[in-house]
Amino acid sequence: MGKVPSLIGLGLLCIPLVAGTATVRADNAPTEVNKVDLIPAERAAWTPKNVGIGLSSILGGWGYWYTEREISVETVPAVADLSLYYIRSNFQKRFERAQSPALVKLPSRADMTYKDAVKFHAIANGYLAEEVSYDAQKVPDHVVIQLHVLPNSLVFLGHTEFAGRTSLTLRTTEQPEVRMSKNTSLQGFQIALTKTAVKLEGKPPKGGGHITDLDAIQIAEDAILRVGTDSPDLEVRSRQSFDAVQGQYVYVFDIVAPGTAAPSDQQIRARLDALPFTPNASCDDRYAAVLREKLGDAELADAFRPSGELTDLYRREAMLRLGRYHEGTVQTDTGDTLRTGSSLELALALQSAPRVRGYLALLGALARTEPAPGDAMRTLIAPGKTPAEFAPIYDAAEGARSDCHR
Roughly how many angstroms between the first and final C-alpha of the chain, as a whole number? Answer: 85
Contact 279, 358 (CB under 8 A): yes
The reported pLDDT for the residue numbered 355 is 94
Give the rounded percent of residues in the chain with a pLDDT score beyond 70: 86
Cα four-point dihedral sign 285, 289, 295, 297: positive
The reported pLDDT for the residue numbered 198 is 94
Q: What is the CA radius of gyration of the chain?
A: 33
**pLDDT per position as a tens digit, 57-110:** 555 455 566 778 899 999 999 999 999 999 998 899 999 999 999 999 999 887
Give residues with Cβ within 8 angstroms of 229, minimum separation 6.
187, 188, 189, 210, 211, 212, 255
Start-end of CATH 2.60.40.3500 domains in the chain: 152-256
Rounded to 5°, the CA angle 265-268-269 comes to 85
**Distance from CA of residue 28 to its chain's centroid?**
31
CA distance linking residue 178 with residue 172, whole number of Å: 11
The reported pLDDT for the residue numbered 53 is 52
At the topology level of CATH, where does 152-256 sit? Immunoglobulin-like (2.60.40)
CA distance linking residue 264 with residue 66, whole number of Å: 82
Paired with 116 in beta bridges are: 88
Indicate the pTM of the whole model.
0.76
pLDDT less than 50: residues of the chain:
1-29, 60
Q: What is the dihedral of CA 65, 67, 69, 70, to 10 degrees?
A: -160
